[in-house]
Chains A and B, each alone.
Chain A
Amino acid sequence: MQRREFLAAGAATMAAVTLAACGGKTKPPLPPGIMTGANDTLGHRLRQRDFPPPTETRRIGVAIAGGGIGGLSAGWRLARSGMDDFLLLDLESETGGNSRAGRNEVSAYPLGAHYLPLPPREARAVKVLLRELGALKGEHEYEEKYLCHAPQERLYRNGYWQDGLLPTLGVPAAERAQYARFQEFIAGLRERRAFTVPLAFSSRDPALLALDKIGFSDWLRSEGYTAPGLHWLTDYACRDDYGTRAFDTSAWAGLHYFACRESEGQVLTAPEGNAWLARGLVQPLTGRVLPSALVWRVEETKREVAIDVYLAAENRSIRLLARELVWAAPLFLLPHVFTAPRPEWLAALKGSDYAPWVVANLTLSAPPGTRAGAGLAWDNVIADSESLGYVVSTHQAMRYAPGPTVLTWYRALHDESAHRSPSRQRRLLQSREAWAEEILADLERPHPEIRELVTRIDVHRHAHAMIRPHPGRLWSGARAAFERNQGRIRFAHADVSGLSLFEEANHRGVKAAEDTLGRLGVSYSSIL
């Protein structure tokens, strides 16, 4: 049967090639779907501060601005300490930030972040959360349901699906020797915990911190790593975790990706991506979350912080007078919101850059076929593509029969910037139809039958998905402006770390909450 399928698929590829050559007249129409994305219109009104003045004043102990993982972690930490005089404000109608999910009749699916590598010993707060969620017993025993099921990943290269992401097929021995040397080097870094996540616990050895000043590709070459496969994998890793190309990524950040965890490759995931983790954080926050609420003006006074919040549903603003503010929204918003942003913040923000992302969910009537090589895995990567490939949302489902599925396709717009002129955001702003066509063209190479299987394509845009660790961004000292004590304001966003990772956001949130508890005189024992 496989050979028959092989032939049919082969015929289909040739058909696709021929059709494309004929101008694609017989292509089926694009499947339906919607385009969603971070609430940008509301966000962009910030520049004008174009909001109605407050009509009501409320007093509150702690305000948390932002409902991503940082803000949720801060709220979660406050709630765990028994503190309940706080309010979390989120611009979106639903909390979770990059970890939000969608759902249709086939499956739940991620709209952004979709996995958490097994946390190393330093990520203590993450482990506390996982134990609460029943996903972790003791230090190392993880619930099977959340551990990524085998096979975890495969790579489509030269017409063949291979196991794992490091290109191995047809790679000369000399290059494979470089792979081995690199892996050994990484194992050594791991052993001495040179890089950790949260990165705050990393070694401060100046020789290591100096790596931040050079590009990752340059570092690889200077160490004699020339194997194209290794350069491909490191570039893929940078696009995947940081939204940057390897040459434009700090070598410290690049090595951090490979060396910060204790074990190789194993990850926790769920059909809805990381939304299950966000759900665990938001659970104790019942009644203390204000959705569709945009903080548009913050003024610090001697005794309190005045926070003007626009309530989109009611089209009016309220003023919160809070004793403490946890700022858990992206840091680039600070100059637009604060009446008197501190000069050192502005200095630290100079040159900061965010990667836009597009995440598309494709609903399929049946799983895509495999012409040659390893069968469908959780993470499926196409080597010579600008996309990051796709994950299969039903991979973790407790079912064995093949059936309809949802594929989540990822594309970091590594060559565009949300902060530069609109002409540099052409791809981000293109229509859903243009994206759908681009996605199908990408997936058509490994899966010529894809157009017949897809019943829906929903596209989700993130204009400022993740901060980029360009060379010099992490250890120049600038970040310290947000780590230091700032009067009544604390920062709880992954931007403070400079890496857009779940563990970093969680760490910053918990840290901000614990510092706030200290200032309020509430006793607590740190979970960091």
Chain B
Amino acid sequence: MQRPLLVSVFIVASCGLAYELIAGALASYLLGDSVMQFSTVIGVYLFAMGIGSWLSKYVKGNLLLRFIQIELLVGLLGGLSAGLLFLLFTLHNGPFRFTLYGLVLLIGILVGLEIPLIMRILKREVKFDDLVAKVLSFDYIGALAVSVLFPLLLAPHLGLVRSALLFGLMNAAVAAWALWLFRDRIGPLAALRTQCIAVIALLIAAFGFAGQFVSLAEANLYAEDIVHAESSPYQRIVVTKVRDETRLYLNHNLQFSSRDEYRYHEALVHPGLATLPGARNILVLGGGDGMAVREILKYPQVEHITLVDLDPRMTDLFSRSPLLKTLNADALNSPKLKIVNADALQWLEASDAMFDFVVVDFPDPSNHALGKLYSTAFYRLLKQHVAETGRVVVQATSPMYAREAYWTIVTTLEAAGWQTAPYHALVPSFGEWGYILAGKRPYTAPATIRVATRFITPDALPALFHFPADMARVATEANRLDNQNLVRVFEREWGRVQSH
């Protein structure tokens, strides 16, 4: 019986370390601050093992039976631990930390029981000094094996949820093996055999469903039904639907809600385009959802629209999905539209096309790469593509939450030689949102808007161009490629908003 039990020690030790690594990695992944997470998880775990070792002296009766039961329990708890924690995290206000340390403590206690029990089982057959040497060395070898395998193979290929289940199965397998080997020394077997089969079946089932489980967890993160989710080389695209409301998220940031996106897109297009009765050639940068194009197509004089969006997955999705096509009025399949999937900066540099109206609808300047799209260099480049009487509109983040960032964009446009007309509109999903009209000549608001609108009407316009005191202009520096001060300002201001 010595050899099988030593093999068990090896497996059991591997599993024990694996749960600790998985809990630490998961906590780092979800909560950040990996040094803190790993230290506290390892600390609690080692302490719990101490408790387990101490408690082992109270374990009496048939030790082999107890060992098998402990193995099954460790397998069950450890195996499901990662999935359980992941699910809990996605439920808002779930008792995540409490459960995390609770689970680590429980698993640690059970793992702490294992080695003393095995030593007690073996002590009648092996000399004490030999026993300690063998058991402990197998224990540490098992730990080494898993600490190498976990980062190399398991975490990258199986993921955390499945890795935990795999180790759970190994614990359960040790239990089953021990049960079979020592069947004549345990006593009545029926109940234990059933428990064994039940645990193994449950873990195998969970392993099979782990994929769906992760998307279930993601669904909880959104608290909405996911109708489409994909990862393009550039971003994670998720479309959700609750009753009659459709939402688009890019990298988990809300892009529009079908309830009020008309406000955002009408405000983006009409104050500018309604003043350009002769506008035939239109350029849209970003805006792969086709909503801005939908508004532009309302103007009969428009002959050509060029949409430049980096991500072909976005434009494909919004030109194919029936649900999304009803939202953008099938704008992306308009014969007037040409879709270019390219880097807008590269495309503009290479192109010599001229436009009467340009919609600049990029993501907010949250990093240095996106910051380039709000620089004096970019706005100067844009100038070479806009007709003398033409106009540009720029989505420019919130003048309310990111006041300095908004006015930095205004200053930047001005530094590049544009005449600006800043305005804002309330989009409930986003809050107060900012836009900037820019042209080579001063702007005058349109007296009439000849196309059908729900939100932007001529009498509503003057208020949009007025900035109340809490959003009023602040002195800022222009955002140049060599300073990128906008990214810093934006990060600071939105960081403040999100920490509330």
> A and B from one assembly?
yes
Find out whether the CB atom of A144 lies under 8 angstroms from the CB atom of B376.
yes
Find out whether the CB atom of B483 lies under 8 angstroms from the CB atom of A401.
no
Interface segment, B174-182, B363-371, B443-451?
B363-371
Find out whether the CB atom of B483 lies under 8 angstroms from the CB atom of A150.
yes
CB of B352, distance to nearest CB on chain A (Å):
15
- Does B258 have its Cβ within 8 Å of any Cβ on chain A? no
Which residue of chain A is the closest to B371 with respect to CB atoms? A150
In the bound complex, how far is the Cα of B482 from the Cα of A152, in angstroms?
Answer: 8
Q: Specify which chain A residues have a CB less than 8 angstroms from the CB of B373 in the assembled complex.
A: 400
B-facing residues in A202-222 (Cβ within 8 Å): none
> Chain B 447-488, CB within 8 Å of chain A: the 1/0 string?
000000000000000000000000000000000111110010
Known contacts A144-B375, A150-B368, A375-B368: does B483 contact A399 (CB below 8 Å)?
A: no
CB of A215, distance to nearest CB on chain B (Å):
35
Which residue of chain B is the closest to A148 with respect to CB atoms? B482
Interface segment, A2-10, A281-289, A327-335, A487-495?
A2-10
Q: Specify which chain B residues have a CB less than 8 angstroms from the CB of A149 in the assembled complex.
A: 368, 372, 481-482, 484
Find out whether the CB atom of B156 lies under 8 angstroms from the CB atom of A401.
no
- Does A147 have its Cβ within 8 Å of any Cβ on chain B? yes
In the bound complex, how far is the Cα of B5 from the Cα of A442, in angstroms?
Answer: 45
The 8 Å CB contact of A398, one of B155, B251, B345, B370, is: B345
- Does A133 have its Cβ within 8 Å of any Cβ on chain B? no
In the bound complex, how far is the Cα of B369 from the Cα of A375, in angstroms?
Answer: 10
Identify the B interface with A (CB < 8 A). 25, 28-30, 32, 34, 148, 150-152, 155-156, 234, 236, 251, 310, 343-346, 348-349, 367-373, 375-377, 380-381, 480-484, 487
In the bound complex, how far is the Cα of B310 from the Cα of A402, in angstroms?
Answer: 11
Which residue of chain A is the closest to B344 with respect to CB atoms? A400
Total A-B residue contacts, Cβ distance less than 8 Å: 87
Interface segment, A11-19, A107-115, A337-345?
A11-19
Which residue of chain A is the closest to B372 with respect to CB atoms? A400
- Does A145 have its Cβ within 8 Å of any Cβ on chain B? yes
Q: Specify which chain A residues have a CB less than 8 angstroms from the CB of B369 in the assembled complex.
A: 400-402
Find out whether the CB atom of A151 lies under 8 angstroms from the CB atom of B343.
no
CB of B440, distance to nearest CB on chain A (Å):
20
Which residue of chain B is the closest to A143 with respect to CB atoms? B377
Identify the A interface with B (CB < 8 A). 1, 3-4, 6-8, 10-12, 14-15, 18, 144-145, 147-152, 266, 375, 397-403
Known contacts A398-B381, A400-B373: does B25 contact A7 (CB below 8 Å)?
A: yes
Q: Specify which chain B residues have a CB less than 8 angstroms from the CB of A152 in the assembled complex.
A: 482
Find out whether the CB atom of B377 lies under 8 angstroms from the CB atom of A144.
yes
Find out whether the CB atom of B310 lies under 8 angstroms from the CB atom of A11.
no
Find out whether the CB atom of A6 lies under 8 angstroms from the CB atom of B34.
yes
Q: Specify which chain A residues have a CB less than 8 angstroms from the CB of B483 in the assembled complex.
A: 150
Q: Specify which chain A residues have a CB less than 8 angstroms from the CB of B371 in the assembled complex.
A: 150
The 8 Å CB contact of B346, one of A14, A399, A402, is: A399
In the bound complex, how far is the Cα of B348 from the Cα of A148, in angstroms?
Answer: 21
Which residue of chain A is the closest to B483 with respect to CB atoms? A150
Which residue of chain B is the closest to A374 with respect to CB atoms? B368
Q: Residue among B251, B481, B483 with the most chain A CB within 10 A?
A: B481
The 8 Å CB contact of A11, one of B34, B155, B381, B480, is: B155
Q: Specify which chain A residues have a CB less than 8 angstroms from the CB of B28 in the assembled complex.
A: 3, 6-7
Q: Specify which chain B residues have a CB less than 8 angstroms from the CB of A151 in the assembled complex.
A: 368, 484
Which residue of chain A is the closest to B377 with respect to CB atoms? A144
Q: Specify which chain B residues have a CB less than 8 angstroms from the CB of A144 in the assembled complex.
A: 375-377, 380, 480-482
Find out whether the CB atom of A398 lies under 8 angstroms from the CB atom of B152.
no
In the bound complex, how far is the Cα of B464 from the Cα of A394, in angstroms?
Answer: 40
Known contacts A144-B376, A149-B482: does B370 contact A400 (CB below 8 Å)?
A: yes
Q: Specify which chain B residues have a CB less than 8 angstroms from the CB of A397 in the assembled complex.
A: 346
CB of A422, distance to nearest CB on chain B (Å):
43
Find out whether the CB atom of A147 lies under 8 angstroms from the CB atom of B482.
yes
Find out whether the CB atom of A3 lies under 8 angstroms from the CB atom of B151.
no
Find out whether the CB atom of A18 lies under 8 angstroms from the CB atom of B152.
yes
Which residue of chain B is the closest to A372 with respect to CB atoms? B34
Find out whether the CB atom of A14 lies under 8 angstroms from the CB atom of B151.
yes
Find out whether the CB atom of B251 lies under 8 angstroms from the CB atom of A3.
no
In the bound complex, how far is the Cα of B28 from the Cα of A8, in angstroms?
Answer: 12
In the bound complex, how far is the Cα of B34 from the Cα of A474, in angstroms?
Answer: 52
Q: Specify which chain B residues have a CB less than 8 angstroms from the CB of A18 in the assembled complex.
A: 148, 152
Q: Specify which chain B residues have a CB less than 8 angstroms from the CB of A147 in the assembled complex.
A: 480-482
CB of A158, distance to nearest CB on chain B (Å):
12
Which residue of chain B is the closest to A146 with respect to CB atoms? B482
Which residue of chain B is the closest to A19 with respect to CB atoms? B152
Which residue of chain A is the closest to B370 with respect to CB atoms? A400
Q: A149-B368, A150-B371, A152-B482 are in contact. List 5 more A-B contacts (CB 8 A).
A: A3-B28, A11-B156, A18-B148, A147-B480, A402-B369
In the bound complex, how far is the Cα of B151 from the Cα of A18, in angstroms?
Answer: 10
In the bound complex, how far is the Cα of B158 from the Cα of A11, in angstroms?
Answer: 13
